[in-house]
A and B are shown apart, each in its own frame.
Chain A
Amino acid sequence: MKRLEPLWWLLFGAGGFVGAVLLPALYFMVAVGFPLGWFGDPVETFLRMRTLFANPVGQLVLVVGIALPFWHSAHHLRHFVIELGFPHSDRLVGSLLYALAGVGTLVTVGVVGAL
Chain B
Amino acid sequence: MGSASSTPTLASRVPDGWWMSHKRYRYYMLFAMASGILSLGSLVLLVAVSALSKGSQAWAGFLAMLGSPAGLLLSVVVLVPTCFFAVRWLRVGVKIPQVKLGPMPAPGAGMLYVAHFGLLIGVSLLVILLLSGVVA
The answer on direct contact between A and B (beta carbons under 8 Å) is: yes
Q: Is B108 part of the contact surface with A, judged by Cβ < 8 Å? A: no
CB of A73 within 8 A of CB of B39, answer yes
A61-87 contacts to B (CB < 8 Å): 62, 65-67, 69-70, 72-74, 76-77, 79-80, 83-85
- Contact-residue bracket for chain B: 35 or more
Q: Is B32 part of the contact surface with A, judged by Cβ < 8 Å? A: yes
Query: Which chain B positions have C-beta within 8 A of A70?
Result: 39, 42
Query: Which chain B positions have C-beta within 8 A of A84?
Result: 19
CB of B42 within 8 A of CB of A20, answer no
Asked, given contacts A19-B38, A22-B127, A29-B131, whether A115 binds B49 with beta carbons under 8 Å apart, the answer is yes
In the complex the two chains form, what is the Cα distance from A85 to B20 in whole Å? 13
Q: Count how many pairs of residues, one from A and one from B, have CB atoms less than 8 Å apart in the complex.
A: 174
Query: Which chain B positions have C-beta within 8 A of A5?
Result: none
List the one stretch of B1-9, B59-67, B99-107 in contact with chain A. B59-67
- Is chain B's binding surface mostly helix, strand, loop or mixed? helix
Taking A21-B120, A62-B49 as known contacts, 19 extra A-B pairs with beta carbons closer than 8 A to each other, sorted by chain A number, are A23-B86, A24-B82, A25-B125, A25-B128, A26-B131, A27-B41, A30-B45, A31-B48, A31-B75, A35-B71, A35-B72, A44-B133, A46-B52, A52-B130, A62-B45, A66-B45, A70-B42, A83-B32, A104-B42
Q: Enumerate the 10 nearest inter-chain pairs by beta-carbon distance, A residue then B residue, closest first.
A: A35-B67, A76-B35, A25-B124, A20-B86, A73-B39, A42-B60, A25-B127, A35-B66, A19-B38, A69-B38
